[in-house]
Amino acid sequence: MTPTPLDILKTYWGYENFKSSQEVAISSALEGKDTCVFLPTGGGKSICFQVPALVLPGICIVISPLVALMQDQVENLKSRGIKAQLLKSGMPYKEIDQKLDNCVYGNYKFLYLSPERLQQDLVQQRIAKMNVNFIAVDEAHCISQWGHDFRPAYRQIQIVKELHPQVPTIALTATATTQVKKDITEELGLKVPTLVEDSFKRINISFLNEFSNDKMNDLFILLEHSEPSSIVYVRNRSACMELSDFLNKKGLKSTFFHGGISQTEKQNRLASWLNEAHHIMIATNAFGMGIDKANVRQVIHYHLPESMESYYQEAGRAGRDGYASKAIILYNESDKLRLNNQFVKTIPTFEAVQVVYKAMMSNFRVAYGEGENKVFDFNFHEFCSRYNLHTILTYNTLNLLDRLSVISLDKSFQKKTKLKFLVSSEQLIRFIDNHTQYALLVRTLLRTYGGVFEQELTINTQLLKKKTGLNDAEVYSQLEDLEKHGLLSAEFIKQDLSITLIPPREDKYTLNPLRKYVVQYQENKLQKAEAVLDYIGESNLCLQAFILKYFGEKDFSACENCSNCNKNQVNAIRDPSSNYYKNIKLDILKLLNGTELNSKEIIQKIEYPKQAILETLQWLLDYGKIKLTSKNTYKENL
């Protein structure tokens, strides 16, 4: 008997009911119709293709540009007892061949892969043999040149449609303007698709833009009572560490997350935030994909986001449990300059792309016509220093080359260890007989790497940790000790990027066809930065209405919770004799009874808009109810 979608939902996810939009999408897919799913962050998009794929026999091909998100979904499916495979960059041919065979013959339900993988003959040949029930296109906005993460390779998805012309497509995204939605339908060749849309309106989120002359202190005030959870987004790694250190010294429990920390550290930091050992996460945009924590009360952008799409996606991680939450941008005039200097001025031009590509080929010593599918590890800052390259512009250029399918970029930090034993096996055994603390590691090395006496080998330290039970520090410390004893030579190399060259090196023939995409990318990024500046510069329109208008919605009713709506409410009741201001006056005077406080301390202690408190303080000063001391504190004027 074929299970119903509700049976699948209860069995694997433990939920009793679908959201109405999910139900519409799943019904459309099961009726064999192409379906476009436009749901905001946290709307449960993955359920819309995962459930119907489990209802029908066959395998669902899932195409996504985000390796981290694919890995997260595959692990999530496996934890529920659902068979899923992932093809990622850097896999050897034999492993790809085996995984594809498993998908053809092994009763797997999901195959996740990037659009670039679709261009491989082997992948196309095996997909043609699979019993495909659905084609799911995640992050579908990437197919549009007006999407915030346009990838030309997404236009190759038609290959799967050609291999399985009768199979319905489910396209999904959380952030799409009207133009992007139109492009998705046209570029994917969808036939009269069912459109499933929820409003982007989040009635439980207050969108607040707060001007700040002392951002660190104002951040502390916002976070001092921020339990159970908050996220603070910054634009660079150093700010992650600096702010986390500042907050911890102030007695708050924060941790940080960015692309430069190891996978183990990422998992540990994420776990400590999820279980609320640290309730504040300071993060770059490397944090968030696949993160589903319901009780995030505040998402604060300490630096300006690069686009309204990324801002809304990150802000949407607040209040997924439906309770009142805040999305706050802290900004001042220098942030506008920073957006221009660190973002607008570092959008890659075609000339920058040519310079960085040439430097890569020189650095990796790739000859003309060679390099196809070869993997290279390197230290990014050493690379920039060697070729005198601007770091931010170079990093953005590498990301653009990744989107354009010239390279595949893996940003995971790793330590590579190369070693070779310098003594005979007999001498080594005698040594560990007398120094038993090294016995476990040495014996594991000998069992795992047979040729380590004859030649220098690259050692997988993660595998050593797993087999020995030692941690990172213990493995490296023991290897260093063995080197000091003259038993082995070891080389420890820190790598923070890994690059796979996709086409062979052909210089202008590789890059020239991509010139128009680079120009489009530039124009698009500039427009999106301007939209962010318009958003923080908007002083009258409701901020939620601004966001809805940006994404093409028609409902512009005021939310009554954003900073502009609050300001308008304050303007409407500015009469000092109003009950609203009377309450603020009474609360301030109660606070100052027998003590002195500065304005920041007063703002921190009472729940009113900052501007209303400052205006009330001025009124109380003007009417002689309070006075300002030489220490710049307020006290009652008795």
User: What is the model's pLDDT at position 327?
Assistant: 95
Q: What's the gap between Cα 332 and its chain centre?
A: 25
Q: Which stretches does DSSP call E strand in 88-193? A: 110-113, 132-137, 169-173
Secondary structure class of 236 (helix, strand, coil)? coil
Distance CA 136, CA 132 (A): 11
> Given the DSSP bridges, would you call strands 488-495 and 414-421 parallel, antiparallel or unpaired?
antiparallel
- pLDDT for position 226: 66
Q: Which of 91, 62, 88 is nearest to 77 (CA)?
A: 62
pLDDT at residue number 154: 80
Q: Which two tokens stand for residue 60?
A: 């669902």
Positions of the chain with pLDDT under 50: 573
Please tell me the predicted confidence (pLDDT) of residue 577.
Answer: 57
Residues 189-201 pLDDT 10s: 898 999 998 888 8
Is the preceding peptide bond at 3 cis, omega within 30 degrees of 0? no
How would you label 142-160 residue by residue, b for 16+ Cβ within 10 Å and e otherwise?
Answer: bbbbbbbbbbbbbbbbeeb
Q: Residue 45 gets which letter from DSSP?
A: T
Q: Which of 561, 566, 608, 539 is nearest to 203 (CA)?
A: 561
Instruction: Indicate the pairing of strand 414-421 with strand 280-283.
Output: unpaired
- The tens digit of pLDDT for each residue in 569-591 reads 655 545 555 667 778 888 898 88
The span from the CA of 490 to the CA of 1, in Å, is 60
